[in-house]
Structure 1
């Protein structure tokens, strides 16, 4: 299934998206609270906000971001999303 990506829904909190090697193909994120900013930091790590930082998405109140990489980024250990700020976050991370 070459070229297919799998969206993994985010819970709004810190979470492991994929355990083991994967490719970060993109993400779609939205701050849903409308009054405060939120940040998503995506790491090459299976279970914690450490390891190699692959992407940082800073969203203003009510902001959104939808990114699809033309060349996915390899994560050798796994993919973990760390949610920061006081805003509320929804969306998904796309893996290939």
Structure 2
């Protein structure tokens, strides 16, 4: 079972400690391309990249990992460009 954490549309901490990334849903909302990266880090856009998402204008993606990805240090979402909404699933 996993918890869903809503995206704020800006860079954000999802979890500060060890977690499992179970998946994510991300949608571009402003009619322009967007890019998002999810890191194994408690507070910054650095370290191991767990997921890198590029979305076209009005695009969306929904990913579920059958075997969750382990994030040893935490989970941080970096909105590299564009405007997005959605959620990250962690366990």
**Same-fold status (TM-score > 0.5):** yes
TM-score tier by shorter-chain length is: over 0.9
TM-score, normalised relative to structure 1: 0.92
1:65 is the counterpart of 2:24: no
1:6 is the counterpart of 2:16: no
Runs of 4+ that moved beyond 4 A: none
Rounded to whole Å, the distance in 1 between the matches of 2:49 and 2:63 is: 17
Rounded to whole Å, the distance in 2 between the matches of 1:41 and 1:90 is: 13
Q: Which of residues 63, 84, 88 is equivalent to 2:83?
A: 88
Query: What RMSD over aligned residues (CA atoms) do the two structures have, in Å?
Result: 0.6
SS in structure 2 of the partner of residue 49 of structure 1? coil
Q: CA deviation at 1:23?
A: 0.2
Q: CA deviation at 1:63?
A: 0.2
Rounded to whole Å, the distance in 2 between the matches of 1:18 and 1:77 is: 9
1:9-36 CA-partner distances (Å, limit 9, x unpaired): 01000000111000000000000111x1
Report the equivalent of 2:22. 25
Q: What residue ranges of structure 2 are gaps of 5+ in the alignment? A: none
SS in structure 1 of the partner of residue 66 of structure 2? strand
TM-score, normalised relative to structure 2: 0.97
Report how many aligned residue pairs link the two structures.
91
